[in-house]
Structure 1
Amino acid sequence: MLIARQATRLASRRASAPSVGTVRLLRSTPGQSPPDSAQSQTPQPASPLPDSSSSTSAPRETQTGATASADDVPPLSSTDAPTAADAPSPASQVPPVNALSQRQNSLAEAFLDLHPDVSPRTDEERQGSQFPGETTGAKARGAGKSSIEKKRAFLARAAGLATLGGLAWAVYDLGKDWDDDEEKKKMFARSDDAQAIEEAQEGGWAGWWGRLKIRAADHLDYLNKPAWDPLLPPPLPEPHYRPYTLVIDLEDMLTHDNWDIEHGWRTAKRPGADYFLAYLSQFYEIVLFTTLPSYLAIPQIEQIDPYGAYIPWKLFKEATRYKNNAHIKDLSYLNRPIERTVMLDVDPERTQLQPDNSIVLKRWEGTRGDATANELVAMIPFLEALAIKGVKDVRPVIKHYEGKHIPTAYAEAELKAKQELLDQWEAQKSDTSVKGWIGSLFGGLTKGTIRDAPPETDVEKVRKTAQKLYLDEQKYWRDNAETINAQIEEDKQRQLKEMSSSLIGMMGLKPPAPPQQA
């Protein structure tokens, strides 16, 4: 009778259960019993059979019957609630470990399993699948790529190939042979790697490797190089061409800055600086190379050479090369033959790359009449002699005077050469006198010529002509100073007017019309 009553209740619950498409999965949690039938939203129909609570002597066949399992039978009413003896053992209360175990223990799963279309898959079918919230997000290799991803991958491969090709070409270009002898000399002069220079002079792979190292070091030294290369344009054509180049410093060489409380900053010009520049400009292309910024050096240069007639080129701090914690004047960037270039400076650190081309003088401290005041003018005979004699390479000559006071040492050498010439002249003079006396005895068959004035050396002859040209040039500047200054002032006003018109045009304004004449 009890079995029939439970079967009737089960049939009524199946009839009142929602459709398969709207079933909610009711999952049980560990230690919690399934929800009671009294909490369900579905109303329960009245049973036509009498309640079994009035019959207390009836046996409990639900514990031994095989009609329905504990999971298949829905919760009973309070009269049919299980007793304490029917409670599960502690071993059977192990909590589920994942969502699958919760799904199997839920009450709704019992109803879903009754329909073949929504019943859970077997363990073999579940292998490899993931529940929502447990997916890894991984995709199969090469599957599902969009056109943008394919294009991006293609561009990445193309960029990689282009980079490899560019590196290969760069390695070849760095190690190739020199373009000409001029490049070879220039790169050797700039390189500090003696081993690389030695390898570059060899043939085969050793020469290729040496050239690669020299060129690579030159490229990597970009930030320490001068602002541009070359620093000077090609030499001027004739008649302004000068075969030799003189690089001279400004601070403590031609001028000296001094500060005091009474006058503030003042600049003193070295005695003889004007004469030094004007006279040697006949033999040398003078380049003023200073480590001062241009805004500090230009006002001083304009006071020394107001017409720009003696110093055609000016180089400032940005033209130096920074190396070994010093601003160095690298003559290899001048675009002039280094074998015919002389550099005058007061700091040996600035000339460390070309010491054989450099003459280091003592600093002038701005005091007139001291031992260093006339040092600059005393260098003129030596420098003019290099140009007059046409020395092919000035470096061995400068090396010969290393460690000596050049003005004094050269004056002694010139005096010695002069004395030898005079001795020869005296010998020729006495020999000519004897020949003339003998000739007069035989009726004047032979005549001797006697020089009344002593002979001059080649340097003295050219020096006399150069000094005359210097005096004539200075006379020209003095006679035409007023006209030249007026032209300079006119050019300044014209440039200022052009700058003002350009600024007005950039702002989109119309320049004022010229005044009309009556």
Structure 2
Amino acid sequence: MLAHNRHLGNPENQRRREQAQSPIVLRAMVGIAQSIFVAIASIFNFFILLLKKSSRAYCKYQVVTYQSNIPMSPLTTHRLLSVKRKILVLDLDETLIHSHHEGVLRPMVKPGTPADFTIRVVIDRHPVKFSVHERPHVDLFLSVVSQWYELVVFTASMEVYGTCVADKLDRGRGILKRRYFRQHCTMDFGGYTKDLSAIHPDLSSICILDNSPGAYRKFPHNAIPIQSWFSDPNDTCLLNLLPFLDALRFTSDVRSILSRNQQQLQDL
């Protein structure tokens, strides 16, 4: 018995036992560390998601104004009265809104992003539900520019869809009464182009806001390009256009200003 106890108390044997137990302890510590790391990462991701949602909500509901009712000087008033009231043609998809129909979620829109409104239409005898997202500040934009221009909707979408979207954007204000749809477009180079002369024969007083250059291929000197919009809640393109559109209405021929866009492209 004494010999056996001496054998157990042998430092060499004790060291061997400790060495055998070390991998087990190490694996346990690694497992605990991994669990703690996963928990911390989950908490961090949760707070990041919460911050993003709060940021989107703030951007959507923050109050933005544009001083469009500042009294004009007599000289400015005289200048405005001496020129024709201009027409601003507005595209819908990817210019003022972005939409996708039920069951098809484009990769540009994150799953779970709530729509600003939905519409239900019948296409080829099949009911289709569209989720529509409004470009940031579109309501303010329409309210302001409708004081300066006659607004016309011109979309390459089908009339049954475009009418519903335009009605929602109008919100009963009667500012989007004139509307043109796919049947008013012409096919050119595999895409739809929009004939501005069908809206008004005097091209000096008409301009088009569209994200697709192909839509105004035949009228580049009447075009106001804008970046395509899909889901960015921080987009300010419509707001940025207000000072420019405010000034453009004073010109006698919009092409004298808008043609410079074409010239700049040629100079690049």
SS of equivalent to 2:258: helix
Match of 2:87 in 1: 245
Residue 268 of structure 1, aligned match among 133, 136, 160: 133
**TM score, norm. by length of structure 1:** 0.29
Question: Where do residues 97-496 of structure 1 align in structure 2 (5 Å cutoff)?
Answer: 243-258=85-100, 259-260=104-105, 265-369=130-234, 373-387=235-249, 390-402=250-262
Between structure 1 and structure 2, the one with the greater Rg is 1
RMSD: 2.2
Match of 2:37 in 1: none
SS of equivalent to 1:384: helix
Query: Is the CA contact (8 Å cut-off) linking 2:200 and 2:206 kept in structure 1?
Result: no
Between the aligned partners of 2:214 and 2:159, the Cα distance in structure 1 is 21
In the TM superposition, what is the alpha-carbon distance from 1:325 to its structure 2 partner? Answer: 2.4
In the TM superposition, what is the alpha-carbon distance from 1:308 to its structure 2 partner? Answer: 4.2
In the TM superposition, what is the alpha-carbon distance from 1:374 to its structure 2 partner? Answer: 0.8
SS of equivalent to 1:379: helix
In the TM superposition, what is the alpha-carbon distance from 1:248 to its structure 2 partner? Answer: 0.9
Between the aligned partners of 1:404 and 1:381, the Cα distance in structure 2 is 20
* Structure 1 letter corresponding to 2:193: I
Between the aligned partners of 2:200 and 2:206, the Cα distance in structure 1 is 11
Between the aligned partners of 1:399 and 1:335, the Cα distance in structure 2 is 19
Between the aligned partners of 1:300 and 1:355, the Cα distance in structure 2 is 26
Give the direction of change, closer, same or farther, for the CA distance of 1:379–1:403 in structure 2 (3 Å limit): farther
Give the direction of change, closer, same or farther, for the CA distance of 1:284–1:336 in structure 2 (3 Å limit): farther
* Structure 1 letter corresponding to 2:95: M
In the TM superposition, what is the alpha-carbon distance from 1:336 to its structure 2 partner? Answer: 4.2
In the TM superposition, what is the alpha-carbon distance from 1:247 to its structure 2 partner? Answer: 0.5
Highest relative contact order (Cα 8 Å, sep 6+), 1 or 2? 2
Kindly report structure 1 stretches of 4+ aligned residues shifted beyond 3 Å. Answer: 258-265, 401-405
* Structure 2 letter corresponding to 1:379: L
> Deviations 1:139-163 (Å, cap 9, x if unpaired)?
xxxxxxxxxxxxxxxxxxxxxxxxx
Query: Is the CA contact (8 Å cut-off) linking 1:248 and 1:344 kept in structure 2?
Result: yes
In the TM superposition, what is the alpha-carbon distance from 1:401 to its structure 2 partner? Answer: 3.9
> Deviations 1:234-276 (Å, cap 9, x if unpaired)?
xxxxxxxx71000010001111014447688521011111111
In the TM superposition, what is the alpha-carbon distance from 1:400 to its structure 2 partner? Answer: 2.1
* Structure 1 letter corresponding to 2:89: V
Between the aligned partners of 2:259 and 2:148, the Cα distance in structure 1 is 21
Query: Is the CA contact (8 Å cut-off) linking 1:346 and 1:360 kept in structure 2?
Result: yes
The count of residues paired between Structure 1 and Structure 2 equals 159
SS of equivalent to 2:230: coil
> Deviations 1:335-388 (Å, cap 9, x if unpaired)?
34211111111111111111010122110012211xxx210111111111011x
Give the direction of change, closer, same or farther, for the CA distance of 1:267–1:307 in structure 2 (3 Å limit): same
In the TM superposition, what is the alpha-carbon distance from 1:404 to its structure 2 partner? Answer: 6.6
Structure 2 residue ranges without an equivalent (≥5): 1-83, 106-110, 115-128
Between the aligned partners of 2:219 and 2:192, the Cα distance in structure 1 is 14
Query: Is the CA contact (8 Å cut-off) linking 2:186 and 2:193 kept in structure 1?
Result: yes
* Structure 1 letter corresponding to 2:237: E
Query: Is the CA contact (8 Å cut-off) linking 2:153 and 2:176 kept in structure 1?
Result: yes
* Structure 2 letter corresponding to 1:385: A
Between the aligned partners of 1:311 and 1:349, the Cα distance in structure 2 is 23
SS of equivalent to 2:214: helix
SS of equivalent to 2:179: strand
Give the direction of change, closer, same or farther, for the CA distance of 1:355–1:401 in structure 2 (3 Å limit): closer
Among all aligned residue pairs of Structure 1 and Structure 2, give the percentage whose two residues are the same amino acid.
25
* Structure 1 letter corresponding to 2:181: F
* Structure 1 letter corresponding to 2:97: T
Between the aligned partners of 2:148 and 2:130, the Cα distance in structure 1 is 35
Between the aligned partners of 1:321 and 1:397, the Cα distance in structure 2 is 26
Between the aligned partners of 1:337 and 1:277, the Cα distance in structure 2 is 23
Between the aligned partners of 1:368 and 1:246, the Cα distance in structure 2 is 25
Structure 1 residue ranges without an equivalent (≥5): 1-241, 406-518
